[in-house]
Structure 1
Amino acid sequence: MAGKIPQSFIDDLLNRTDIIELIDSRVHLKKAGKNYQACCPFHNEKSPSFSVSPEKQFYHCFGCGAHGNAIGFLMEYDGLTFPDAVGELAGLHGLTVPHDQPQHQQGSAASADHYQLMEWAARYFQGQLKNAPSAISYLKERGLTGEVVKQFAIGYAPSGWDGLRQTLVRSAATEAQLVELGMLISRDGGGSYDRFRDRIMFPIRDRRGRVIGFGGRVLGNGTPKYLNSPETPIFHKGKELFGLYQVKEKHRSPVRILIVEGYMDVVALAQFGVDYAVASLGTSTTSDHMHLLFRTTSEVVCCYDGDNAGREAAWRALENALPSLQDGKNLRFVFLPAEHDPDSFIREYGREAFEQKLDSAQSYADFLFERLSRDLNLSGEAGKNELANKAIALIRRVPEGFNRESLLTKLSAQLRWGENEKRLRDIFRRQEKEAQQTTAVQPQTGKIKLTLIRRAIALVVQHPQQAALLPPLPDVLRTLNQPGINVLLSLLTQLHNNPMTTGQLLEHWRDTREGRALAQLAMLDEVAVGDNIQQELEDVCDRLLDLYLQQRLATLQNKAQNTGQLNPEEIQELQFLLTEYKRSAK
Structure 2
Amino acid sequence: MIPKSFVQDLLNRLDIVDVVERYVPLKKAGANYVACCPFHNEKSPSFTVSQSKQFYHCFGCGAHGTAIGFVMEHAGMGFVEAVEELAKSIGVTVPQEASNTPQHKVAPDLYELMQSATRYYREQLKKNPRAIDYLKGRGLSGEVAARFGIGYAPDDWQNLQAAVPNYQDAGLVETGMVIEGEGGKRYDRFRDRIMFPIVNVRGQVIGFGGRVLDKGEPKYLNSPETPLFEKGHELYGLFQAQKSIRAQQRVIVVEGYMDVVALAQHGVGYAVATLGTATTPFHVQKLLRLCEQVVFCFDGDRAGQKAAWRALENALPQLQDGKRIGFLFLPEEHDPDTYIREFGTEAFEAQLDDSLPLSGYLLRELTAQVDLHTPEGRSALLKNAQPLLTAITAPTMALLLRKEVAALAGMTQDELEASYDIKPLATPRRVAPPKAKRTTPSGLRTLLRCLVMKPGLARELPNDWHGDGAEGEAIAALADWLRESADETTTAAMIQHFQGSAHEGVFAVAQGEVMQWGAEFDVAAEFAGTLDKLREEARKAELELLHAKMLGKDLKALDEQERARYLQLLQRG
When normalised by structure 1's length, the TM-score is: 0.58
In the alignment, is residue 214 of structure 1 matched against residue 211 of structure 2?
no
1:560 aligns with none
Say whether the 8 Å CA contact 1:326–1:398 is kept in structure 2: no
Q: 2:408 aligns with which of 414, 429, 436?
A: 414
In structure 1, stretches of 5+ residues that fail to align are 23-69, 101-110, 434-462, 467-494, 503-586
Q: 1:184 aligns with which of 155, 160, 178?
A: 178
Tell me how far apart the structure 1 counterparts of residues 317 and 162 of structure 2 sit (CA, whole Å). Answer: 47
The 3-state SS of whatever aligns with 1:301 is: strand
Q: Check 1:402–1:225 CA distance in 2 against 1; reply closer, same or farther (3 A cut).
A: same
Residue pairs, 1:127-526, within 5 angstroms: 127-170=123-166, 172=168, 175-417=169-411, 420-428=412-420, 430-431=421-422
Say whether the 8 Å CA contact 2:161–2:167 is kept in structure 1: no
Residue deviations 1:310-338 (CA, integer Å, cap 9, x gap): 11110000000001111112111111111
Tell me how far apart the structure 1 counterparts of residues 350 and 400 of structure 2 sit (CA, whole Å). Answer: 26
The 3-state SS of whatever aligns with 2:380 is: helix
In the alignment, is residue 12 of structure 1 matched against residue 9 of structure 2?
yes
Matched positions, count:
375
One-letter amino acid of the structure 2 residue matched with residue 268 of structure 1 = A
One-letter amino acid of the structure 1 residue matched with residue 305 of structure 2 = R
Tell me how far apart the structure 2 counterparts of residues 399 and 7 of structure 1 sit (CA, whole Å). Answer: 28
Tell me how far apart the structure 2 counterparts of residues 251 and 356 of structure 1 sit (CA, whole Å). Answer: 17
Q: Check 1:499–1:141 CA distance in 2 against 1; reply closer, same or farther (3 A cut).
A: same
Tell me how far apart the structure 2 counterparts of residues 217 and 198 of structure 1 sit (CA, whole Å). Answer: 9
Q: Check 1:6–1:131 CA distance in 2 against 1; reply closer, same or farther (3 A cut).
A: farther
Residue pairs, 1:81-96, within 5 angstroms: 82=80, 84-90=81-87, 95-96=89-90
Tell me how far apart the structure 1 counterparts of residues 108 and 302 of structure 2 sit (CA, whole Å). Answer: 46
Tell me how far apart the structure 1 counterparts of residues 93 and 130 of structure 2 sit (CA, whole Å). Answer: 43
Tell me how far apart the structure 2 counterparts of residues 11 and 295 of structure 1 sit (CA, whole Å). Answer: 24
Instruction: State the 1:253 CA deviation.
Output: 4.6
One-letter amino acid of the structure 2 residue matched with residue 193 of structure 1 = Y
Stretch of structure 1 that moved more, 249-258 or 402-411? 249-258
Tell me how far apart the structure 1 counterparts of residues 209 and 134 of structure 2 sit (CA, whole Å). Answer: 16
The 3-state SS of whatever aligns with 2:182 is: coil
The 3-state SS of whatever aligns with 1:213 is: strand
Tell me how far apart the structure 1 counterparts of residues 406 and 116 of structure 2 sit (CA, whole Å). Answer: 57
Say whether the 8 Å CA contact 1:272–1:346 is kept in structure 2: yes
In structure 2, stretches of 5+ residues that fail to align are 20-67, 95-106, 425-455, 460-484, 491-573
The 3-state SS of whatever aligns with 1:189 is: helix
Q: 2:116 aligns with which of 111, 115, 120?
A: 120
One-letter amino acid of the structure 1 residue matched with residue 87 of structure 2 = A
The 3-state SS of whatever aligns with 2:344 is: helix
Residue deviations 1:154-185 (CA, integer Å, cap 9, x gap): 1001111112133213375xx10111011111
Q: Check 1:369–1:112 CA distance in 2 against 1; reply closer, same or farther (3 A cut).
A: closer
One-letter amino acid of the structure 2 residue matched with residue 13 of structure 1 = L
One-letter amino acid of the structure 1 residue matched with residue 381 of structure 2 = L
Instruction: State the 1:152 CA deviation.
Output: 0.7
Say whether the 8 Å CA contact 1:79–1:239 is kept in structure 2: no
Say whether the 8 Å CA contact 1:165–1:184 is kept in structure 2: no
Q: Check 1:192–1:500 CA distance in 2 against 1; reply closer, same or farther (3 A cut).
A: farther
2:561 aligns with none
Q: Check 1:328–1:143 CA distance in 2 against 1; reply closer, same or farther (3 A cut).
A: same
Tell me how far apart the structure 2 counterparts of residues 323 and 305 of structure 1 sit (CA, whole Å). Answer: 24
One-letter amino acid of the structure 1 residue matched with residue 372 of structure 2 = L
Say whether the 8 Å CA contact 1:240–1:289 is kept in structure 2: yes
Say whether the 8 Å CA contact 1:87–1:97 is kept in structure 2: no
Instruction: State the 1:14 CA deviation.
Output: 5.4
Say whether the 8 Å CA contact 2:251–2:293 is kept in structure 1: yes
One-letter amino acid of the structure 2 residue matched with residue 321 of structure 1 = A
Say whether the 8 Å CA contact 1:301–1:361 is kept in structure 2: yes
RMSD: 3.8
Say whether the 8 Å CA contact 2:192–2:213 is kept in structure 1: yes
Tell me how far apart the structure 2 counterparts of residues 302 and 338 of structure 1 sit (CA, whole Å). Answer: 16
One-letter amino acid of the structure 1 residue matched with residue 419 of structure 2 = I
Q: Check 1:404–1:181 CA distance in 2 against 1; reply closer, same or farther (3 A cut).
A: same
Instruction: State the 1:250 CA deviation.
Output: 3.3
Say whether the 8 Å CA contact 1:216–1:226 is kept in structure 2: yes
Instruction: State the 1:368 CA deviation.
Output: 0.8
Instruction: State the 1:90 CA deviation.
Output: 3.3
Residue deviations 1:335-384 (CA, integer Å, cap 9, x gap): 11111111111111111111111111111111111212233111122221
Say whether the 8 Å CA contact 2:160–2:167 is kept in structure 1: no
One-letter amino acid of the structure 2 residue matched with residue 90 of structure 1 = A
Instruction: State the 1:416 CA deviation.
Output: 4.3
One-letter amino acid of the structure 1 residue matched with residue 155 of structure 2 = S
Instruction: State the 1:193 CA deviation.
Output: 1.8
One-letter amino acid of the structure 1 residue matched with residue 413 of structure 2 = E
One-letter amino acid of the structure 2 residue matched with residue 408 of structure 1 = R
Residue deviations 1:489-539 (CA, integer Å, cap 9, x gap): xxxxxx9xx96879xxxxxxxxxxxxxxxxxxxxxxxxxxxxxxxxxxxxx
